[in-house]
Chains A and B, each alone.
Chain A
Amino acid sequence: METFLNRYRNLTVLLVALLAQLVLLAYQVRSHGDVRLIRVWAVTGVMPLARVLEGVRSNTFGFFREYFVLLDVRTENERLKKELGTLKMENQFLKTELATADRAQALAAFQSRSPSRTLAARIIGTGTGANSKVVFLDRGSNFGVGKGMAVVTPDGIVGKVIASYPTASQVILITDPSFAAGVISQKNRIHGTLKGQGHSICMIDYIQNEENVAVSEWFYTSGDDRVFPKGLPVGQVKISRQGKMFFKEVLLVPSGLQQGLEEVLIVLEGVHQDIPEVPQTQQPLHLLPAPPRDPASGEAHGVLSGNLSTDADQMLDRYKRIGETQGHTYGVAGPKPPNFNVTPEPPKPPRAEPAKP
């Protein structure tokens, strides 16, 4: 026996290693359990380093800015070039800082007006595997984060916590193929199940072909899954068409992932809300003030007032001035009608008052 094992030592080790892992796998699948200890070790070992890397990355812009500022230059041309580089870097740095501040402000505003109790967290890593849509957050069970909690942003839902470790927690994103959540449409209150597909577009399943779902319609969480509180935005319908079997084919663009993910909110205690009646507000549209009037164009057309814009208005104004010039009152019978062929004098611009000291 010993000789046999020595002879096939490599193969024996391989079979033992494979068998052990198969047993481990079978145990987890059969008992729906987890070998938590190994995961805790791995996450505790890797995530602090990811957190350090994240800190280094966020401070890199500041470092480069200082570097360029302190750099000594000899010629004027070089100095100007360096200054330009510094300003560009600074500009980029400030833009990044501003974007971060905006995101933080949006999160804080959402956190304060949301009835649910939430905890802000930062994404510090992604899961392993090419198709994995899993991320790690820098808040774990030490902060009260537990398995099954919803993860959202002010724009929409992001995912749910699938494992919580002391220093970090693992979140499955709504784009993962194994993700599902209950959703409801805004207009007709049609219930469906949101499913990830492994890419940026999600699918809403189990909507009957007879139901009416319009493109651009918003979907919200229905609260049926007991994970996401009712009334959180999910996304807008991109494609809605008849399915091959009984259910419609509805594809949705998730709103929570559109702005990129850095900071999120973990819903510690969710409170259900009503589905809003008005459509989801988009980015506010910025409108410039009305342009100033061009006096030259006004004179050319004989326009006195900025309100006179149509041809009829201009003609009326012209006849009024002809009547005033020739002393004719319209509607009163006179000796002769006014001469409409003469060109009336243009109106005099108002005199500018002298500036007071």
Chain B
Amino acid sequence: MISESGDLLLRRRQRKQYRFRPAALVLVSFAAILFQVYVPRFVEQLSYLELPLLVTVYFSLMRREPVAGVLIGSSIGLVQDSLSHNPLGMFGIVKTLVGYFAASVSQRFDVENMTIRFLLGFFFFFFHQFFYWVLASTLLGQQVGFDALQTLFFGLLNAAVAVPLFRVLDRL
């Protein structure tokens, strides 16, 4: 009986899989990258707002397909890499993992719940920053410090932005 109800719940969640128009997916991702490229020129503090990451998390969560998450994450990450001065693949690898894990997580949780969204936004920001630091230190040999407290703080800020942003993106 319990197993049947569990299956029903899982099936109901899977039915709510979102299908985005490709144009919307491309435009939103593009706008997020453009925001990161343009806006911090005037408000430097906003450079810590990782909109491309939040968009990756959102699309992966709502598509609920790990393969789609991988493709979305790697594409957004590679475009981000192209606009940075690091070798191509750094953001690509990190966002590929974020996309995969976000899509996998979405099959277990109710990702339309605001609290879950907040927690996932926070977790994936911290994971993204930490894994990027690990890659930069190990693969590129960069001597860059990792400020865990600051990352936690910016994680909270990003999560706070993620909740209303996801609400807006729900209407796509």
Contacts and interface: CB of A to CB of B under 8 A. Distances in A.
Interface stretch (A13-21, A107-115, A202-210, A296-304): A13-21
Contact of B87 (A13, A29, A172): A29
B109 interface: no
A42 B33 CA distance: 10
A125 B39 CA distance: 8
A131 B36 contact: no
Contacts of B16: none
B87 A127 contact: no
A162 interface: yes
B40 interface: yes
Given A10-B104, A29-B140, A35-B88, 11 more contacts: A14-B66, A17-B70, A21-B92, A24-B87, A29-B139, A49-B34, A123-B41, A128-B33, A129-B80, A129-B86, A178-B142
Interface stretch (B6-14, B46-54, B113-121, B164-172): B46-54
Contact of A13 (B66, B86, B91): B66
Interface residues of B, number: 44
A132 B85 contact: yes
A132 B36 CA distance: 11
Interface in A7-34: 9-10, 13-14, 17-18, 21-22, 24-25, 28-29, 34
A126 B41 contact: yes
A320 B27 CA distance: 92
22 contacts: A13-B66, A14-B66, A14-B97, A17-B96, A18-B97, A21-B78, A21-B88, A22-B89, A24-B92, A25-B93, A25-B139, A39-B82, A43-B83, A46-B37, A50-B37, A126-B40, A128-B52, A130-B47, A134-B84, A162-B85, A178-B142, A198-B144
B82 A38 contact: yes
B66 to A, nearest CB: 4
Given A10-B67, A46-B33, A128 B84 contact: yes
A222 interface: no
A49 B144 CA distance: 32
B129 interface: yes
A43 B70 contact: no
Query: What is the predominant secondary structure among interface residues of chain B facing chain A?
Result: helix
A128 to B, nearest CB: 4
B74 A50 contact: no
A129 B82 CA distance: 11
A185 interface: no
A13 B70 contact: yes
A18 B104 CA distance: 17
Interface of B: 30, 33-34, 36-38, 40-41, 47-48, 50, 52, 66-67, 70-71, 74, 78-93, 96-97, 100, 104, 129, 139-140, 142-144, 154
Contact of A28 (B38, B89, B142): B89
A53 interface: yes
Given A18-B96, A131-B144, A25 B67 contact: no
Contacts of B83: 39, 42-43, 46, 125, 127-128, 136
Contact of A134 (B34, B85, B88, B154): B85
Given A14-B70, A22-B89, A162-B85, A38 B96 contact: no
A136 B37 contact: yes
Residue of A43, A45, A198 with most chain B CB atoms under a 10 A cut-off:
A45
B94 to A, nearest CB: 10
Given A10-B67, A25-B87, A177-B144, A41 B82 contact: yes
Interface string A172-192: 100011100000000000000
